[in-house]
Amino acid sequence: MSEDKQTHFGYQQVEESEKAGLVAGVFDSVADSYDVMNDLMSAGIHRVWKRFTIEVSAVRPGHRVLDIAGGTGDLAAKFSELVGADGEVVLADINDSMLRVGRDKLLDRGYHGNISYVQADAQTLPFPDNHFDIITIAFGLRNVTHKDVALQSMLRILKPGGRLLVLEFSKPESQLLSRAYDTYSFKVLPMLGKLVAGDSESYQYLAESIRMHPDQETLKQMMEEAGFSRCEFFNMTGGIVALHRGIKA
């Protein structure tokens, strides 16, 4: 039997077969406090990042939208309003706990009819070819073991002319900002996690996983290699976060 390949889980080296379970453990732990922690960690700025993502998506009534790693449903809720009764929104997440929290939140807020919920792995998306007008993945790609495979899976199910939007933490543009961000990420985030979610280790992993994620230019190149065209990215908050966009030719 061949030896299992190694990959990273934050700064740790683990067997590829173990990573999905380890990531699942992180999100099982933080699911119920995820929204509160997002607001605290970003001082609410995550709402601005997501609003910009919605604008760049150019979603229209009647569109089919897939929100991968959709978590607690912030993007899916807005997409539901924009696509209307003739459109379709699928909130997908590999993690059952996150999917449950997102579904319950959206149902409680009256979102139903054009939203469906699917537990799915971004690397093996269970949808037909050429199906969606828009795919988004916000703060989820860095947790995927084989990002190249996931990007190819997304390309397959997009319609020609369809858009992929990847919203993710990235590399700050200045050294000064980078140093301040490192201090915040490795000192403040785990402390907030312990106080609010009762879990410092998951937020330590969050900080580490961000550092292991490809930078802006590298991710753009990966999208091009997967087959996307007209790839570009938009830095926000000094490059702490970047939105990548690619088109299926």
pLDDT tens-digit series, residues 48-94: 999 999 999 999 999 999 999 998 899 999 999 999 999 999 999 99
pLDDT band, very low/low/confident/very high, at 4 (cuts 50, 70, 90): low
Average pLDDT, the chain: 92
Residue 43 domain-assigned (yes or no): yes
Residue 192 domain-assigned (yes or no): no
Residue 9 domain-assigned (yes or no): no
Share of the chain above pLDDT 70, in %: 98
Which pLDDT does position 142 carry in this prediction?
A: 94
Residue 193 domain-assigned (yes or no): no
7 annotated as ligand-binding: no
Residue 237 domain-assigned (yes or no): yes
148 annotated as ligand-binding: no
Range with the lowest mean pLDDT among 10-14, 42-46, 160-164, 241-245?
Answer: 10-14
Residue 115 domain-assigned (yes or no): yes
Read off the pTM: 0.91
CB atoms within 10 A of CB 74: 22
Residue 38 domain-assigned (yes or no): yes
Cα 26 → chain centroid: 15
Q: How many structural domains comprise the chain?
A: 1
Residue 189 domain-assigned (yes or no): no
The full 3-state SS of the chain, as one line of letters, equals: CCCCCEEEECCEEEEHHHHHHHHHHHHHHHHHHHHHHHHHHHCCCHHHHHHHHHHHHCCCCCCEEEEECCCCCHHHHHHHHHHCCCCEEEEEECCHHHHHHHHHHHHHCCCCCCEEEEECCCCCCCCCCCCEEEEEEECCHHHCCCHHHHHHHHHHHEEEEEEEEEEEECCCCCHHHHHHHHHHHHHHHHHHHHHHHCCCHHHHHHHHHHHHCCCHHHHHHHHHHHCCEEEEEEEEHHHCEEEEEEECC
- As a whole number of angstroms, the distance between CA 232 and CA 223 comes to 10
Q: Is 2's pLDDT higher than 60?
A: no
Which pLDDT does position 81 carry in this prediction?
A: 97
20 annotated as ligand-binding: no
State the average pLDDT over residues 153-160. Answer: 98
User: 33-52: b or e for each residue (b if 16 or more CB lie within 10 Å)?
Assistant: bbbebbebbeeeebeebbeb
4 annotated as ligand-binding: no
Looking at residue 225, which CATH number applies to its domain?
Answer: 3.40.50.150
Cα 213–49–9 angle (5° rounding)?
A: 20
Domain coverage including residue 243: 27-173+205-247
**Tens-digit pLDDT profile for residues 32-43:** 777 777 777 888
